[in-house]
Amino acid sequence: MLVFIFITINLYLIFSSHSGLRHIILNRYFPSSLTVEAWVNPSSLPTYGEIRGIVDTRDNLGAATSGYVLELWNDAGVQKIAWLSGPGGPAATYTLPVGQWSHVAVAHDGTSQMARIYVNGNEIASGTSYAINNVVENLRIG
């Protein structure tokens, strides 16, 4: 299946845990490896301490131990892009250009437990990525 996602930050779609799309993408036979890609055109960047999900299925229960998220966040004034699955994952200091489209992707390899983050085809981060399990939350895009 080939999916193109076009996102303008500050707008989002939510597919409930009962929607057909969620079950196609996130059913219990979820692959151990996957690539998540999005074209992102932020109208502004996250402010101090703010997190903005690009694609998000994580729980919001403190430790966020299930699902995954590809996100932009402002870490004490530093713009970052991160991939989190389970308890953690790689992140990079990177500022997306405001008002321009950028291709953001992550390749998650469940076998080697590694993930690589790309912006416009250039690898900007890699590191340990944990198994994607217990995806029970809604799929949020944007």
Per-residue pLDDT tens over the stretch 68-102? 889 898 999 999 999 988 778 899 999 999 999 99
d(CA 124, CA 131): 21
Q: How far apart are the first and last CA of the chain?
A: 20
Confidence of residue 123 (pLDDT cuts 50, 70, 90): very high
SS3 content of the chain, % helix, strand, coil (to 5): 5, 45, 50
Q: What is the pLDDT of residue 118?
A: 97
Per-residue pLDDT tens over the stretch 4-34? 444 333 444 444 444 444 434 444 445 677 8
Write out the DSSP string of 67-86.
SEEEEEEEETTEEEEEEEET
Chain-centroid distance of CA 78 in Å reads 18
d(CA 98, CA 36): 21
DSSP state of 88: B
CB burial class (10 A; 0-12, 13-18, 19+) of residue 47? exposed
- Name the residue type at position 104: V
- Name the residue type at position 50: E
Q: What is the pTM of this model?
A: 0.77
Beta carbons within 10 angstroms of residue 54's beta carbon? 26
Which of 111, 109, 113, 55 lies closest to 81, judged by CA?
55
Per-residue pLDDT tens over the stretch 29-69? 456 778 888 888 888 999 998 888 888 777 665 556 667 88
d(CA 128, CA 114): 5
Question: For residue 112, what are the contacts with CB-CB under 8 A and spacing of at least 6?
Answer: none
